[in-house]
Structures are given as C-alpha cells and as structure tokens.
C-alpha cells in the first residue's frame, strides 16, 4: 500500500525536476523592443521645424511676388472693375508678406539652445501666422474668379496664371504649418 502513495509523489518530484511545473504553462515575456530610430534632441527638432517654416514662408512670398508681377500688368487695364480686383489681390499679397515676414529667418542653433522656450513660442506664433495667411489667401479665390469673369479669354496674362501662383503659395503654407509642427486640417492645434 505504501507503493501506491509513493508513486504519484515520485512522479511529481521528477516532473518538477525536469521543469514541467506550472511555470512552463505561463507565456514567456516578450523581449523589449529597442528603437532603431535616432533620438532627436529637442533643440535640434525645433531648429528643423523653424528651418522648414522659413523655407515655406520664402516659397509663399516668392510665389506671391510672381503673382504681383502679373497683376501689375493687369492693373493698366482701363476698366475700373478690373483695377479694383487687381488692387484687392495686391492688398492680399501685401498682407500675407507682412504676416510671414518675421518667419523667413532661421535662428542659429546656439540661440535656440540658449532660449529654447522663446524660440518655441516663435514657432507657435509661426503656425498662427501661417494660418492667418491661409485665411487671406482664401479671400483671393473669389477675387480671382471675379477677375476671370471680367477679362476676355484672349487677355494676356490670364488670371489663371495668378491663380496658379496663389495655389502654389497655399500649398507652401500647408507645408509650413506641418513643418512647424501644426495641423493644417485643425487650425491652432500648435502643440507639437
């Protein structure tokens, strides 16, 4: 009779020794994932954001200056309605250029490191400026359409050329907002 009780106990001891205990039924912990992406220091990231914003501000202003050149040629048209539309578009161009003027220069990396909080506030102000410039450009669509309706098709230069420059400027504004860490689809969410 002793043998009956000894056999199961012996089997449990052998199983425990071989590692067949309850711990082997539990899942093994997953190995920690090591990021292969390089870590970007906050001052470097901010420098890159401000650099992208600066480039996009320059592109926007350049596109609008090219539109201004076309509009100057149209300004000579004797029709008062055409002159008023051209003046309205020139005013929009001036407004956007003033709005973005403070964001065309990238501060030195050393300046960002010394005054990180100030430079980050400048980045956030840049996002708001780009958003304001977007609103100004939105006003231009109606004026350009009005100008198209007032000018005959054979007029050179065509308002479509002006529209192309405004469209390119608008795309640069969107890229600038993204580059500065904003979300062009949700204005004023400038927290990144």
Q: How far apart are CA 122 and CA 103, in angstroms?
A: 8
Q: What are the pLDDT digits (tens) for 139-172?
A: 898 999 888 888 876 666 778 899 999 999 999 9
Which of helix, strand or coil describes residue 172?
helix
Confidence category of residue 34, pLDDT binned at 50, 70, 90: low
Q: What are the pLDDT digits (tens) for 53-78?
A: 999 999 999 999 999 999 998 888 88
Q: Which pLDDT value is given to residue 52?
A: 97
Q: Which pLDDT value is given to residue 25?
A: 53
Q: What is the pTM of this model?
A: 0.75
Backbone Cα Rg of the chain? 32
Q: Which pLDDT value is given to residue 185?
A: 85
Domains and CATH numbers, the chain: 42-179 (1.20.120)
Helix 42-75 crosses helix 80-100 at what angle (to 10 degrees)?
Answer: 160
Q: What are the pLDDT digits (tens) for 17-30?
A: 555 545 555 556 56
Q: How far apart are CA 69 and CA 84, in angstroms?
A: 16
Q: What share of the chain is helix, strand, coil (3-state, %, to 5)?
A: 75, 0, 25
Q: What are the pLDDT digits (tens) for 100-135?
A: 999 999 999 999 999 999 999 999 999 999 999 999
Do 126 and 180 touch, CB atoms closer than 8 A?
yes
What is the helix (H) or strand (E) element at residue 178, kind and residue range? helix 159-179
């Amino acid at each position: 009779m002793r043998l009956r009780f000894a056999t199961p106990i012996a089997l449990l001891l052998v199983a425990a020794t071989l590692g067949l205990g309850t711990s082997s039924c539990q899942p093994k912990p997953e190995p920690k994932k090591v990021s292969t992406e390089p870590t970007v220091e906050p001052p470097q990231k901010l420098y890159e954001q401000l650099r992208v914003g600066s480039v996009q501000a320059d592109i926007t202003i350049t596109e609008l200056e090219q539109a201004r050149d076309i509009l100057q040629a149209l300004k000579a048209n004797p029709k008062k309605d055409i002159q008023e539309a051209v003046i309205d578009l020139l005013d929009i161009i001036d407004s956007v250029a003033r709005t973005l003027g403070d964001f065309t220069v990238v501060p030195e990396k050393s300046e960002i490191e010394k005054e990180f909080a100030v430079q980050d506030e400048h980045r956030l102000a840049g996002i708001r400026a780009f958003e304001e410039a977007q609103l100004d450009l939105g006003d231009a669509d109606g004026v350009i359409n009005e100008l198209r309706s007032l000018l005959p098709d054979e007029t050179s230069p065509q308002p479509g050329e002006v529209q192309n420059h405004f469209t390119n400027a608008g795309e640069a504004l969107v890229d600038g907002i993204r580059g500065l860490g904003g979300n062009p689809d949700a204005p004023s969410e400038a927290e990144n």
